Amino acid sequence: MKILVIGSGGREHALVWKIAQSPLAEKIYCAPGNPGIAALAECLPIAVDRIEELLTFARENAVDLTVVGPELPLTLGIVDRFRAAGLAIFGPDKKAAQLEGSKAFSKQLMARYGIPTAAFATFSDFAEAEAYIRSRGAPIVVKADGLAAGKGVYVAQTVDEALQGLKEIMVECAFGEAGRKVVVEEFLDGEEASFFAFTDGRHILPLAACQDHKAAYDNDTGPNTGGMGAYCPAPVVTPALYEKIVTEVVRPTIDGMAAEGCPYRGILFIGLMIKGAQIKVLEYNVRFGDPETQPLLMRMKSDLVPVLMACAGGELEEKTLQWHPQTAVCVVMASGGYPGAYQKGFEIQGLEETAGMGDLFVFHAGTDRAGGRIVNVGGRVLGVTGLGSDTAAAIERAYKGVEKIRWEGVHYRRDIGHKALRNKGA
């Protein structure tokens, strides 16, 4: 098979790495890819939003399956174009991608189908939203409705903070068209977890639960980022909670989407808040998470390609997944200053020292080649992912890899996975 992966981050590197292990994968392309991906696939100079160019390439090169990594091309309708051309593609179509593309759409779906989530209201008028926030008080959450590259969410501890966030979204237009509408939500406390499920629009195949670390600094302090690390499995998701999530969230979501006339195919990524035995949905994403994909796929024993094909073709019913028993931990190494302004172009040293380490893989996210050197070009640069017999061993393995890598200004959290140790009572 010829397989095309769309994207250039750590998530796509993990997908290519896993796909490359399949005996079905004869040739892998990635658009646009990165230097890490280039060791496993042929990288193409086509941006993720150049849908017609991607379609032309897939046609001319007889690509058997296209796997979409990021949300942008999904919300732009890449799946619709490929399917109309008779090409197999993994991911939801444009209507189904509204689950991530519009927070108002997803919240209204949850309300209609009894899926547990925070109380909410949606607004297109600044004054109405302001009055609502003042009437509800704080803490409270204000979200831009549309895609905001992982940003556009304000968890406000005071009314003034909430109103400042509202102003940035709706008046200052910090997130462009994504902020034409806002969702204002009840504040939820507890512990967050990430839950993934494959689906062909009818059948579901749940994956192992993960946990992400959003805050920039140790002990969950500092601004939110796209994710500073993740681990899999997540002990906070007990076997009983796992079944509850499948029954009360995943199943009614897939059934609800079908009932709404927009059946969902692909991977469904659900952000959850967990407090005791209570679960509530924070958000939906219509693609694999980053950095959760890195430890998730490190633990996956099964061949990924047949599952991707089954989702794309509506034939998931017979598929199952097997997992390695180890724990996987991913530590994100970021550019200094991230998620704010950061300098790029610094040479990354030590990558070759990690190449021979067993139970470790370094996934590239924000890297590029410059004059024969690999340099940092993004905020999140590398995802150093280790396997271990338990969480403590996986943490130790990942950080042994981190210690070998350096560049000017490099920043990473030193407490990735510690929540898992606490949840295990360690």
DSSP 248: I
β-pair partners for 323: 300
Please, what is the angle between helix 10-19 and helix 304-313, to 10°?
A: 100
Return the pLDDT at 423.
Answer: 77
Structure tokens at 164: 């400042």
Q: Which CATH class is domain 2-91?
A: alpha beta
Q: Where in the chain is the domain with CATH 3.30.470.20?
A: 191-313
Q: Where in the chain is the domain with CATH 3.30.1490.20?
A: 125-180
Please, what is the angle between helix 126-136 and helix 159-170, to 10°?
A: 160
Q: Where are the alpha helices (DSSP H) in 76-170?
A: 78-84, 98-101, 103-112, 126-136, 159-170
CATH superfamily of 327-423: Phosphoribosylglycinamide synthetase, C-terminal domain (3.90.600.10)
The pTM score is: 0.94
How many degrees, rounded to 5, is the angle at CA 109 between CA 106 and CA 110? 90
Nearest to 386 by CA among 327, 341, 316, 323: 327
Q: Which CATH class is domain 125-180?
A: alpha beta
Return the pLDDT at 424.
Answer: 67
Q: How far apart are CA 116 and CA 140, in angstroms?
A: 18
| CATH T-level assignment (fold) for domain 191-313 | D-amino Acid Aminotransferase; Chain A, domain 1 (3.30.470)
Series of mean pLDDT values for 10-residue runs along the chain (426 residues): 98 98 98 98 98 98 98 96 98 96 95 96 96 96 87 91 96 93 95 96 97 94 92 96 98 97 97 95 95 98 98 94 97 96 96 94 97 96 98 97 98 94 66
Structure tokens at 65: 């399956």
Tallying the residues shown for the chain, one arrives at 426
E strands, 305-409, are 327-334, 360-364, 367-370, 373-376, 380-388
In this structure, is the dihedral angle defined by the CA atoms of residues 102, 107, 111 and 116, taken in order, positive or negative?
Answer: positive
Q: How far is CA 63 from the centre of its chain?
A: 25
Q: Where in the chain is the domain with CATH 3.40.50.20?
A: 2-91
Nearest to 268 by CA among 245, 287, 291, 255: 287
Return the pLDDT at 152.
Answer: 86
DSSP-derived pairing of the beta strands 140-144 and 153-156: antiparallel
